[in-house]
Amino acid sequence: MTYSSKDFKWALYYGQISKQDSDIDLLIAFSSEVRQGFLTLAKIKHELESMIGRSVDVSVKESIEDSNNWIRRQEILTTAQTIYEQR
């Protein structure tokens, strides 16, 4: 399955995306019509890695918000930059 912008409410990136040897960290929110789960995240990860040729980590906002690591949670949620927002 190929995903398109209509499948997402928004997408954010965080971390050190500008370094060539760094992975790309994405935080996404699905549209209500999209089937959600671990398999979906794995497919999106694989699809993005194939397209851009870099390692990609994909997370959903709830997993970050529910994290026990408050330092990591705060860092991600305060530094993430929007790259897509559904209108």
Task: Determine the pLDDT at residue 32.
Answer: 81
- Rounded Cα distance, 14 and 64, in Å: 12
- Would you state the CATH architecture of domain 5-85? 2-Layer Sandwich (3.30)
Contact predicate 27/17, CB 8 Å? no
Burial of 27 per CB tally in 10 Å (0-12, 13-18, 19+): buried
Q: Enter the pTM of the model.
A: 0.79
Query: Which pLDDT band, with edges at 50, 70 and 90, does 33 fall under?
Result: confident
pLDDT, the chain, mean:
88
- Per domain, the residue ranges of the chain are 5-85
What lies within 8 Å, CB to CB, of 4 at 6+ separation is none
- Rounded Cα distance, 69 and 66, in Å: 9
